Structure formats: C-alpha cells, structure tokens
Amino acid sequence: MRLIDTRTGDLVSKTNPEPGSYAILSHTWGDEDEEVSFQNFGDPATARLKTGLAKIAGIIRIAQSLKLDYVWVDTCCIDKSSSAELSEAINSMFKWYQDSAICVVYLSDLPSRANFEDNFPRCRWLTRGWTLQELIAPKHVQFYTEAWEFCGDRSSRRDILSRVTGIDNEILENSEGLHQIPIARRMSWASSRHTTRVEDQAYCLLGIFGINMPMIYGEGPKAFMRLQEEIAKDSGDLSLFAWATPDDSSSKQDQSYRGIFATSPREFIIARGMKYRSAGIIIEKEFSVTNRGLKIETTLVEVPGISMDLVLNLGVSYRDDWPRASSQGWMGIYLTKTSNGLVRSNPTELYTAGPHLRYLHKSASSAFYIRKTVSLSESVELERRFTNAIHVAQVQSFRIQHAAPDHLWDPFRGIFLHQGMGINAYLQLVFHPQYGKYDGFQVIIACSTMGHNPVCALWMEGVNQWHKVRHFLEHRKEVSDYVAIDYLSSFVGGDTSVLSSSASTRFQDPATNNTVVFTVSVKDCWIEGRTPAYSLEASVTIISCNSDEPTSDAHEYRPTLQR
C-alpha cells in the first residue's frame, strides 16, 4: 500500500500498515487531466500545475492536525498503468478505508457556509459508485466544504445520510453488521449511483459483499454478472434475485422474459427498505451456478387467478413484523417453463403474497435450473413457444403418471412446448373409473407433429409393445431423441402411414360385461385465441351390456393460457 508521508510529502510503500495510522480521502474526480496521478507525483513541476494538488494538500493539513503521519489518496497512490496493482487495490479498497483512522470527505460542490441539510442532497459525491463504500467502511468520517471548512461528521449527520442514501442507521454506525442486511437491499444503495466505466458498477461493490474477483476492463456489463455469480457462490440469500426492470428502462422494458440475474444495480431500486420477512431469521437456500444456469432445489408456488407462471419465494418483505400465523407478505419472482429451463417472467415486478393465498398448492421439492441470462432475441422467440405446442385437455377418470420429454412438458399449463420441426410427445395415464374393477388400468398415448399432419397412437396395458414403449418413457432421454428421430415409427412396425389423428382401444369389464372404449385424438386449436397449436383430447365411453346406447365419461376443458 502506497501512502503519502505527511512529514516529507513523499510516497512510501507500507506492507500491512497499522490500522488507524493514516487518513484517507473520499472525493469525486474532476477532469482526469487535472488530477495528480502516480506518475505526476514524482514530478513536482508537473504536479503543481494540477488543480487536484489542492485536495492532496488539504487532507495532509487535516492529517497533520490529527498527528497522523500518513494519508492515502486514490489518484496518486495507485499506479493505474499496472493492471495487477490496480486489481489488488480495488480488491483491497474496502479494507483500506475500514482500517483508516479517519476518512475525509471533500465536497467540491458544497458552497462555503451553505446550509448542509439543503445543499448536501445535491452533491455529486452522493451519485458516484465508489463513494458508497467510502461512506460505509471507515470507522470515522468527516465532511468538508469546497473551502475545506468542517461541516459535520457521519455520526452527527447520520439522519440525513440515511435519508438520502437509503443506508440503515445501524450500518452507518458500524459496518460490521453488513452481512445481516439482505443482499438486494445492499444492492439498492447503489441503484442511483453511477461510474465512469460500466465495469466499475460491479467493482465498486466488492467490499460491500465481501467479494474478491479479478478486474477485466473491457468486459462491460459482464462484470456485474460475474459479481452476482461470485455472491451466489458465497451466500444462500435468495434476495440476490429480488430485482425488477425499472419502468423507465429503455433497454429492457420491452423484454418479457429475463434470466435470474440483474443487468445493473439500478434494477435493485425496488429493494429499498426490503427486509427479511421474519425479523432476525435469514432463510438461506443452497444453490449453484452451472453451465445450465442457476441450479436450486426448492418448491415453487402456483398462484391461480393471478398468473399461470410459478413463483419462487425469496423470503423477503417490506415488513418484518408479520404475525406468526400469517402466511402473507412474502415476495417472490415469477418463473415460467421453457425447453431450456426456467426463465424469469414479468420482470418488471415482484410478486407479493396476499391473505387469499394461505392454502396455495406448492410443487414437490425438486431441483430446478433457471437460466442466467435471456437476450432480447431469445425473449421474442419465447413469446412464440406455444406455437404448434401440444395442449393436453383434461378428462375425468385418469391422471397423468408420466410425460415425456420432460424438458418440454409444462405440467402447470398441461402443454408440451414446441421445439424444432415437431415433436413426439408421450403420456402414460392411470385410469380411475367410477365403475367396475379396472382401477389403476394404464394406457400410453403418443402424439406426433413431425409429419405433414399430426398423428397419434395408443397402447393399453398388456398389449404387444407395451413394455417397449414404457421402457422408452421411463429411461431418461435427451430432448433430441424426441425431436430429431421419429421414434414413434419403431413402435408401430416402422409404418407411420397407418396412423391418423385419432386412435382408440376397448376392453370389457368382466364384472359388468360393459364395454369400455378409450379414444384419443389430436386436433387443431388456438391458444389465447391467437396462437395456433394442437389439442390432445381423450374420452371414455361405456357401452352397457344391456343397451346399445353408449354413455360418456368424458369431460374436456381448455383453460386460457397466460404468460
């Protein structure tokens, strides 16, 4: 760590300087050409021509009055021509401010003798990304006007600081409690701040989250993505995902689907004031970042009447005093199924649980993959994911035992999503009629949209090829197995030309001698009244042994799909 010796004015190198042995400057840069760089500092003639020299002289005077032998100033104490040194400095910055005896904040646009309460909120210092940690990390902070007049310290100005920055009073008093603040809320402190370089939107937050990572200037917005991935490795706090696209965002407001990660701190402005739902209780989940996206084992919640998407409970709220018996108030994000995992839907808002959601259905705990990012073009393509999809209409007396391919099966909408030129979809049904002794009877339905016209096939338990088809269903396959090769032909003797858009099978109930006819058909349909798709419909007909008139046990409905 390079420091300026207040006795000689020279730069000196210190390895692990003693905490409390130096003062440190917090300021906003003017014109970069007017700041005193590391190279300029060794050339007094050049340094004297820089207006930034006055800031260095100002903090040296204050340090001398406090009997401190050293000061640190970012403009001249880092050799920014060395990428290794710059990376080390940025990763150490929070600790350097934390170990200082005092942080001197120079407000170059705060007029002398101005009313602090009125003028401070307009200071440029409050808008810069790097000054966030410079306010939080030090043990002592003093503020000075443009004329280097003392105008208060962090303790005496704590109320206005908290009001204009959103930072909790407790954190302004002692930064050691940072880990107790939800990640999303910490992100929100930077939501209205800016940096000259886009990468610094991430790098300036490393200390706030206790993260170290290499600097890669030139990577652009990927830096903030890397920061979130590093936080995900270190914390199980689901509030990391409690962001929303601002209404006035020009780049993402028209994007209906997003990945699990935000694009910038600005998207966390919604998390201002956010708390863990139950005071003192931090609910963490184990999750990891993989090449398929964020992997998390959890339960998802259905919210019928509000959305056909699923909701992931993030464990946060704007209140932390909910009654113990209350299940409302928690906030979450909407997720929807795609052929490549879950994606964030309705990214402009967070879901908030109301009183009517006490007994909502939750999915069984399972491992889910949520995509890290979704581009604008991918989002547009996802808007068309129901085109040529296969919608399974519900019918009384049977339940779905198994569906394949599971990558394309959306059980909450009852839809096989379309992919490629077509798909072979399979359903194994367990039959539960209200009559006879055939409770538990099984059938397998196949529907193919790979040809010019859709076709279907039907196998009942006990017939030829039943075991072959079921074995195919029960052994996990890649999606490509269902969309690249017409496996259906291997189950019907290699001749799919004998198939049509409907199929049926029948059996006789020995207890009643009634004939049971099970029929399945695939038809053209429209989803949401505008998207062409296919409907797979089934019906059960009973032909009484005492009558030629059939009675139907069929009940079909087509719910409206919502994004």
Predicted local confidence at residue 361, as pLDDT: 66
Of the two residues 253 and 277, the one the predictor is more confident about is 277
Residues 6+ apart with CB under 8 A from 84: none
Q: What is the mean pLDDT of residues 385-402?
A: 82
Q: What is the mean pLDDT of residues 2-27?
A: 95
Beta strand spans in 9-95 (E): 11-13, 22-26, 70-72
Most confident of 356-365, 380-389, 392-401: 380-389
Report d(CA 190, CA 228) in Å as an integer.
14
Predicted local confidence at residue 560, as pLDDT: 30
Lowest mean pLDDT among 3-7, 301-305, 317-321: 301-305
Is residue 562 scored above 50 in pLDDT? no
Q: How confident is the model at residue 397 (pLDDT cuts 50, 70, 90)?
A: low
Predicted local confidence at residue 455, as pLDDT: 86
Is residue 126 scored above 90 in pLDDT? yes
Is residue 17 scored above 50 in pLDDT? yes
**Residue 141 forms beta bridges with which residues?**
103
Neighbours of 456 (CB within 10 A): 24
> The whole model's pTM is what?
0.86
Is residue 555 scored above 60 in pLDDT? no
**What percentage of residues in the chain have a pLDDT greater than 70?**
87
**Contact criterion met (CB below 8 Å) for 472 and 427:** no
- The residue among 198, 203, 224, 120 whose CA lies nearest residue 163 is 120
Is residue 489 scored above 70 in pLDDT? no
| Percent of residues in the chain assigned helix, strand, coil, to nearest 5 | 25, 30, 45
- Note the pLDDT tens digit of each residue in 410-421: 988 889 988 777
Is residue 554 scored above 90 in pLDDT? no
Report d(CA 282, CA 269) in Å as an integer.
21
The domain spans of the chain are: 2-178, 181-377, 390-552
Is residue 345 scored above 50 in pLDDT? yes
Of the two residues 324 and 234, the one the predictor is more confident about is 234
Of the two residues 143 and 510, the one the predictor is more confident about is 143
- The residue among 401, 393, 341, 344 whose CA lies nearest residue 533 is 393
Predicted local confidence at residue 280, as pLDDT: 66
Quick one: residue 147, left, alpha or beta (phi over 0 = left, psi -120 to 50 = alpha)? alpha
Report d(CA 172, CA 188) in Å as an integer.
15
Mean pLDDT of the chain: 86
DSSP 165: H
- Note the pLDDT tens digit of each residue in 77-121: 999 999 999 999 999 999 999 999 999 999 999 999 899 999 999
- 390-552, which class in CATH? mainly beta
